[in-house]
Amino acid sequence: MSTNRKEAFTSVEAKIDAAAHAVLDRMPRHGLSGALVEFIVFGLKQGWACLFGGALLALIMLSVILWPQGASLARYDALFFAALLIQAAMLGFKLEKPSEAVVIFLFHLVGTGMELFKTSAGSWSYPEDNFFRIGGVPLFSGFMYASVGSYIARITRIFDFHFTNYPPRWATLLLAGAIYLNFFAHHFIWDFRLLLFVATALLFWRCDVHYRVFRFRHRMNLLLGFFLVALFIWLAENIATASKVWLYPSQQGGWQLVSLGKFSSWYLLMIISFVLVNLVHKPKTLDGSP
């Protein structure tokens, strides 16, 4: 493992990586078996990158089954404390870097701001009462946005992201700002998300992300990466809304699939997420320069 790769890991992750190499280095390198090894490592690393969001989603689903009605501590407050404990444990056991905790805090602020507006506009609601909330927004909800930021930050370093043809930072910041503005403004003026999709395509269509799984470095168009992650988040949202932690107007009479329109929103939110993370993890070119 190179020095640069060692620096990308926490001390605990470096030990896990060394133990994994002790086993995986003996595995076949080429052919179908080699490809299978690469695929398994890819899945394991993805799971590790999802650690914060996966733990939070698991607790949300467990709360449906295990949280008693009429408990002295509201379910939303329990999830808020649980999210804080997960964050503290990940830092304390060196499962994430302090810069990733900064990303989580930043996303919590951005997400809570959006939640305050969207719930007041009736876009979705939180049907249960709790103490730790601002208006109609329980404070744990910001951690759901933070889990997206955590995933992007962790996957950037775990897979050693490098880029070709990455657009100028000022342009990505303008795009992210316009996307965030549209989440609010479309309630008052026309929804210009189609223009945002065009702008996103123009900025990123030539941009490729180069990532290392195990032995080999792979390449993917970044727009395709945005699409795949947004699809994964949309699927996770369908699971979470089944727990009735939050509900869209169409789900008030009973659960149904989250609309594909929300998938497009998650796609645009991915752009914001990626740009914010790259304020902490400056995007590197293939020669390693920022």
Burial of 106 (0-12, 13-18, 19+ CB in 10 A): middle
Vertex 67, ends 61 and 70: CA angle to 5°? 140
Residue 195 corresponds to which tokens in the numbers above?
A: 């223009």
pLDDT attached to residue 141: 92
- Cβ pair 241, 255 in contact under 8 A: yes
pLDDT attached to residue 175: 97
pLDDT attached to residue 262: 86
Tens-level pLDDT at each residue, the chain (290 residues)? 444 555 578 888 888 888 888 888 888 787 888 889 899 999 999 999 999 999 999 999 999 888 888 889 999 999 999 999 999 999 989 888 888 888 888 888 888 999 999 999 888 999 999 999 999 899 999 999 889 989 999 999 999 999 999 999 999 999 999 999 999 988 888 889 999 999 999 999 999 999 999 888 999 999 999 999 999 999 988 888 888 888 888 888 888 888 888 899 999 988 998 998 888 778 888 765 55
- Cβ pair 248, 124 in contact under 8 A: yes
Nearest-CA neighbor of 103 among 137, 150, 51? 150
Phi and psi for 221 in degrees, rounded to 5?
-65, 135
Beta strands, E only, 76-202: 133-134, 137-138, 162-164
Give every CB contact of residue 26 below 8 A, 6+ residues apart in sequence. none
Q: Is the dihedral of CA 273, 276, 277, 282 positive or negative?
A: positive
Burial of 113 (0-12, 13-18, 19+ CB in 10 A): middle
- Cβ pair 290, 269 in contact under 8 A: no
pLDDT attached to residue 282: 84
pTM over 0.75: yes
- Cβ pair 164, 285 in contact under 8 A: yes
